[in-house]
Amino acid sequence: MAKSKSLLTVDDIVGAWAIMPTPAKPGSEKWDSENTVDLEETARVVNGLIEGGVDGILALGTLGECATLTWEEKYEFMATMIEAAAGRVPVFVGTTALNTRETIRETRAAAELGAAGTMLGLPMWCASSVDTAVQFYKDVAEACPDMAICVYANVEAFKFDFPTAFWAQVASIPQVVTSKYNNLGNLLQDIAATRGQIKFLPIDAAYYGAARMEPDFCDAFWTNSAVCGPAAVTKFRDVIAEAKKTNDWSEAKVMAGEIGYALSTLFPNGSFKDFSMYNIILEKERMNAAGWMVAGPTRPPYHIVPQSYLEGAHESGRRAAALHKKYSA
C-alpha cells in the first residue's frame, strides 16, 4: 500500500476524532488465545464511523490495547483500518512501544500501510524527564518524516506530567500537529507556549469549555463515545460550530451536560486514578453495553476488574446509546 501523500498540518485537525478499541474475538481474555482481532468488525466500525460523520479516527492507545496485542495482530488491525477508511478521513494508529527503536520500526510500518499519523505515547517503563521525552519525539519524527504525530498525553499511563516546558519544545517538531489532551486547566498556557503549532484535543465532554476559552483555535476534540454511536458527538461538533458564529451557546451547553452525564458513571468512586487502573475493560464493557459495536472481551492481563465497577461502565454505555438514538432521530 502507498504511503500518505502529504503530511498533515495543525489546520487539518478539525472536528470529531473518534477513538476506537481493537475488537476482540470471543475467548480473547485467555492468555493462550491467538489471532484475537475481529477484522470484520474492525472494518464495519471504521466504515460506520465515517458514514456517521467523524472527521478522523485514532486507535491503538490504552483502550485500544496497544500493550496486549502481538505485533502480527497490531499490523493486521492497522492494515484493515486503513483499507476500510480508504482515505476518506485521516487514520492515526498507535505505535507506542517500550523503546525508541521498536517505536520507529512500528511507525515506519504504519506509514507504509498508509496511516496518516501515529498517536504516540512515551515508552512505558521508566518515568521520563522533559529532556528525555522531547528527544524521544524528535528521534521518531526524524526517522519517520512521512508521519504526523499526535502526542498521547496520558499522565497516568506514561508517568509524565506533560508540562508546558515539554510542549514549548515539541512544538518545533513539524510532525507534531496534535495531542490527545486532558489538562484543560493548562490549555491556554499550553496553546500560548506552542504558538498555535499543536492542536490540543480535549475529550468531548470538555470541548464546550475549551471552545469557550479559545473559540478561534479550539475546533477539534477526541471522543470515546463515538463507538457507542456517533450521532450525538457529530451533532455536538456542529452545534459548537454554530454557536461560534451566533454567540448563542445555550444548545451547546445542554449537549455538553448530556455527554458529561453519560460519561459520569464510568469513573469508579468518581476517581480518574481508580478508572485508570481498569480503563481498558471499563471502556470496552461500556461500548459492549451501548451495542453499536462489539468491542469484545479484554485481553490479559487487563481483563480483571472489581465487579462493583462494571455496572457503572454498563450504565455509561446505556446512556451513550440513548444519546445516539436521540440525535439520530
* Cα gap 264→217, rounded to integer Å: 27
- Written as one letter, the residue type at 67 is A
Half-sphere exposure of 36 (CA within 13 A, CB side): 27
Q: What are the residues whose beta carbons fall under 8 Å from the beta carbon of 78, sequence distance 6 or more?
A: 59, 60, 93, 109, 110, 113, 115
Give the single-character DSSP code of 195. Answer: T
Q: Give the 3-state DSSP-derived string for 268-323, with helices as H, strands as E and coil as C.
A: HHHCHHHHHHCHHHHHHHHHHHHCCCCCCCCCCCCCCCCHHHHHHHHHHHHHHHHH
* Cα gap 243→192, rounded to integer Å: 24
Residue 326 designated active-site: no
- Kindly name the residue from 180, 199, 235, 284 that is annotated as catalytic: 180
* 8 A C-beta contact, residue 42 and residue 248: no
Q: What are the residues whose beta carbons fall under 8 Å from the beta carbon of 80, sequence distance 6 or more?
A: 37, 39, 42, 43, 46
DSSP secondary structure of 78-114: HHHHHHHHTTSS-EEE----SSHHHHHHHHHHHHHHT
Q: What are the residues whose beta carbons fall under 8 Å from the beta carbon of 23, sequence distance 6 or more?
A: 37, 38, 41, 42, 45, 293, 294, 295, 296
* 8 A C-beta contact, residue 228 and residue 317: yes
Here the cell at position 56 is 478522523
Question: Could you list the active site residues?
Answer: 180
